[in-house]
Structure 1
Amino acid sequence: MSEQATPLLHRIREDMKLAMKAKEKEKLSVIRLILAAIKQKEVDERIELDDTQVLQLLDKMVKQRRDSIEAFDKAGRDDLSLIEQKETSIIQQYLPQQLTESEVDQLIDQAITESGAQGMKDMGKVMGILRPKLQGRADVGAASGKIKAKLS
């Protein structure tokens, strides 16, 4: 494995150095979590991640934290919820600009038209077109629910 970093990975590593110098413990801790997750995936799958794969990993990390925030809020653990929210905001700095609700709806309509989807049996075709466009920019699960509503 060569150590040629992708632009996103390079940015994350540079931010880690800056966080160390500025003694930003929270940010440094989250960046180390990100880098550890990337390294773990590279070792497990014996590959080098490209920016798209790193974005997928970051997207997954954000989703995990959102699930945790929801669980902590239900349990009345505001302290733990706050920690997860801070981590989420740091991770999101590496994700592309989030799409608005109307932009997501527009992409869904385009994907349905492009795939020629007629009903629920074509859900996979629509998701195949849509997933790369939404990755890291919107909640794919929420978009999936909207697609189901439009196709039924």
Structure 2
Amino acid sequence: MTILEQLNQDMKQAMKKKDKDTLGVVRMVKASLQNESIKLGNKELSEDEELTVLSKELKQRKDSLQEFKSAGRDDLVKKLEIEINILQEYMPEQISEDELEALVQSTIQEVNATSKKDMGKVMSAIMPKVKGQADGAQINRLVQKNLN
């Protein structure tokens, strides 16, 4: 089942249950997927493209969450936390810290990276492997740590 099909089913269930939070998030994600489809000129997005859109939506909310927390906007913080939890249900299972560390080290060896100058090579090699399964900032931090 594609992410879009899952979203359609969840939207119907949210309507029946009158779950406004889930319904709002699902509608927003569906709109983002449709906008991306129109932008690419495709009829249907691939699973990777759908994951890219979902990751972007999740990242936007996490960034906003930090801003709202620092501004003391607890009302918006709670709303965003609910949205983040709903969005994470559609994301693939996240890679553990240990697995990610091992993957970073093997990728560094793969591309023969020796210093921080090779950071771009390592990041461009590892990101497709973990698409939607790990946070880019977390990967960046691990790569920097291992390239010292």
- State if a TM-score over 0.5 links the two structures: yes
Q: Distance in 1 between matches of 2:47 and 2:117?
A: 32
Q: Which residue of 1 aligns with 2:52?
A: 56
Match of 2:92 among 82, 93, 96: 96
Q: Distance in 1 between matches of 2:126 and 2:67?
A: 29
1:9 maps to 2:19: no
Q: Write out the 4+ residue segments of structure 1 that deviate beyond 4 Å after TM superposition.
A: none
Q: How many residues align?
A: 147
1:105 maps to 2:92: no
Q: Percent identity?
A: 37
Match of 1:41 among 16, 36, 40: 36
The answer to whether the 8 A contact 1:9-1:51 is kept is no
Q: Distance in 1 between matches of 2:71 and 2:124?
A: 36
The 10-residue stretch of structure 1 (59-68 or 114-123) with the greater mean CA deviation from structure 2: 114-123
Cα offset, 1:117, TM superposition: 1.3
Deviation by residue 1:91-126 (Cα, 9 ceiling, x = unmatched) = 110001112211211110111112121222322221
Structure 1 unmatched runs, 5+: 1-5
The answer to whether the 8 A contact 1:134-1:140 is kept is no
Q: Which amino acid aligns with 1:113?
A: Q
The 10-residue stretch of structure 1 (33-42 or 119-128) with the greater mean CA deviation from structure 2: 119-128
Match of 1:22 among 13, 17, 21: 17
Q: Distance in 2 between matches of 1:142 and 1:126?
A: 14
Q: TM-score with structure 2 length normalisation?
A: 0.92
Q: Which residue of 2 aligns with 1:31?
A: 26
Q: Distance in 1 between matches of 2:82 and 2:102?
A: 31
Q: Distance in 2 between matches of 1:8 and 1:32?
A: 13
Structure 2 unmatched runs, 5+: none
